[in-house]
Amino acid sequence: MTETQQHQHTDLQGRVAIVTGAGSGIGRATAIAMARAGARVLGVGRRHEALQATAAHHPGIVAHPADLRAPEAPAQVAQAATRQWGRIDVLVNNAGATAMMPLAETDADRVAALFALNVTAPSLLAAAALPHLRDRKGTIVNISSTYGHRPLPGGAHYAASKAAIEQLTRSWALELAPEGVRVNALAPGPTESEALSAAGLAEADIDRIKEAEAARIPLGRRGDPEEVAQWVLRLADPGTTWLTGQVLTIDGGLELA
Ligand SMILES: NC(=O)c1ccc[n+]([C@@H]2O[C@H](COP(=O)([O-])OP(=O)(O)OC[C@H]3O[C@@H](n4cnc5c(N)ncnc54)[C@H](OP(=O)(O)O)[C@@H]3O)[C@@H](O)[C@H]2O)c1
């Protein structure tokens, strides 16, 4: 057990969480950390084997393969959680993709695919889970990025999709506050995951990008998914009853540089 895990205080005993993108990176670390904190976790993603590998870390995790861009997927995911456990306390909208697309190369299909995953899918899943979140006075944690509030030359549509999730977070927080449902976002900086290879970049380019990112981060290194996951847990913590509508950046100081 790492030092970070030993210092985990969040108690999610008996809670039910949906974590999207649970087959790798930040989502896998979040699913495992939530299960260790006592939650029953429905881990969602397209690749069954990747989800099984996550589930192998803890018996509290159940794999639910689904493509979140499919029209029927959000309702089916919410149903899968309630069929298994009868409730939903926490929704972590983590599945997402990055795309480098300079303005001159703007492609309508790529823009649509990016927004379908990063903006529409979390919206529809939150809507599907809402009746259950209302019942439980539950909480939503959306995963944004440092680039949700900083410009990203060459990746403007990724940045715009994350800016959208930050505004959804603030608007839903106000909309749902009267019902006791809290909505916050976590905005990580560059973190070890499969995101760069999933964006189709070559190994040599990935190494170069990682080196350049680490050099720009004031604390001198990229993040680990496990340390990012700890902050997802803190935002979801049932004891954190007076925090809503916030976007917490965890990026080694990159936002300030
Ligand atoms: N790593 C970073 O540097 C960083 C920085 C800031 C923000 N973020 C954000 O953090 C979140 C997690 O990303 P990550 O860095 O952990 O990258 P990752 O390892 O690529 O994880 C993304 C996950 O989303 C799942 N996913 C992709 N398309 C999907 C779809 N259509 N339906 C269902 N699941 C889908 C993927 O699984 P399948 O391929 O099996 O579906 C994968 O497990 C994303 O929202 C990302 O934008 C990451």
Task: Tell me whether residue 82 is exposed, middle or buried, using C-beta atoms within 10 angstroms of its C-beta: 0 to 12, 13 to 18, 19 or more.
Answer: middle
Per the structure, the complete domain to which residue 242 belongs is given by 11-250
Tell me the CA–centroid distance for residue 4 and ligand 1, in Å: 22
Q: Are 29 and 101 a contacting pair, CB within 8 Å? A: no
Q: Is residue 150 part of a domain?
A: yes
Identify the residue whose C-alpha is closest to ligand 1 atom 41. 46
The best mutation among 186, 191, 213, 231 to test binding of ligand 1, ranked by most ligand atoms within 8 Å of the C-beta, falls on 191
Q: What is the pLDDT along the chain (257 residues), one digit of tens a residue?
A: 444 444 456 789 999 999 999 999 999 999 999 999 999 999 999 999 999 999 999 999 999 999 999 999 999 999 999 999 999 999 999 999 999 999 999 999 999 999 999 999 999 999 999 999 999 999 999 999 999 999 999 999 999 999 999 999 999 999 999 999 999 999 999 999 988 988 888 999 999 999 999 999 999 999 999 999 999 999 999 999 999 999 999 999 999 98
Q: Is residue 3 part of a domain?
A: no
Identify the residue whose C-alpha is closest to ligand 1 atom 42. 21
Q: Is residue 207 part of a domain?
A: yes
Q: Residue 3: what pLDDT?
A: 46
Tell me the CA–centroid distance for residue 65 and ligand 1, in Å: 14
Q: Residue 1: what pLDDT?
A: 43
Identify the residue whose C-alpha is closest to ligand 1 atom 47. 96
Identify the residue whose C-alpha is closest to ligand 1 atom 33. 45
Q: Is residue 209 part of a domain?
A: yes
pLDDT (tens digit per residue) in 64-101 = 999 999 999 999 999 999 999 999 999 999 999 999 99
| Burial 30-51, CB ≥16 within 10 A → b, else e | bbbbbbbbebbbbbbbbeeebb
Name all residues whose Cβ lies below 6 A of ligand 1.
Answer: 20-21, 23-27, 45-47, 50, 67-69, 94-98, 117, 143, 145, 188, 190-191, 193-195, 198
- Count of CB atoms situated within 10 Å of the CB of 145: 29
Cα–Cα distances (Å) from 62 to 68, 71, 94, 238, in that order, read 17, 22, 16, 22
CA 176, CA 11: separation in Å to the nearest integer? 23
The atom of ligand 1 lying closest to the CA of 27 is 16
The count of structural domains within the chain is 1
Tell me the CA–centroid distance for residue 124 and ligand 1, in Å: 17
Q: Is residue 232 part of a domain?
A: yes
Q: Are 97 and 155 a contacting pair, CB within 8 Å? A: no
Q: Residue 231: what pLDDT?
A: 98
Q: Residue 52: what pLDDT?
A: 98
The atom of ligand 1 lying closest to the CA of 25 is 16
Residue position matching structure tokens 């100081």: 253
Tell me the CA–centroid distance for residue 185 and ligand 1, in Å: 15
The atom of ligand 1 lying closest to the CA of 50 is 40
Q: Is residue 171 part of a domain?
A: yes
CA 194, CA 116: separation in Å to the nearest integer? 19
Q: Is residue 214 part of a domain?
A: yes
CATH of the domain at 185: 3.40.50.720
Q: Are 245 and 174 a contacting pair, CB within 8 Å? A: yes
CA 225, CA 28: separation in Å to the nearest integer? 8
- Count of CB atoms situated within 10 Å of the CB of 256: 9
Tell me the CA–centroid distance for residue 97 and ligand 1, in Å: 5
Tell me the CA–centroid distance for residue 120 and ligand 1, in Å: 15
Structure-block tokens of residue 171:
């608007």
Q: Is residue 137 part of a domain?
A: yes
**Which three-class secondary structure string do you get for the chain?**
CCHHHHCCCCCCCCCEEEEECCCCHHHHHHHHHHHHCCCEEEEEECCHHHHHHHHCCCCCEEEEECCCCCCCHHHHHHHHHHHHHCCCCEEEECCCCCCCCCHHHCCHHHHHHHHHHHHHHHHHHHHHHHHHHHHHCCEEEEECCHHHCCCCCCCHHHHHHHHHHHHHHHHHHHHHHHHCCEEEEEEECCECCCHHHHCCCCHHHHHHHHHHHHHHCCCCCCECHHHHHHHHHHHHCCCCCCCCCCEEEECCCHHHC
Q: Residue 195: what pLDDT?
A: 87
* Positions marked active-site: 158
The best mutation among 67, 194, 221 to test binding of ligand 1, ranked by most ligand atoms within 8 Å of the C-beta, falls on 194
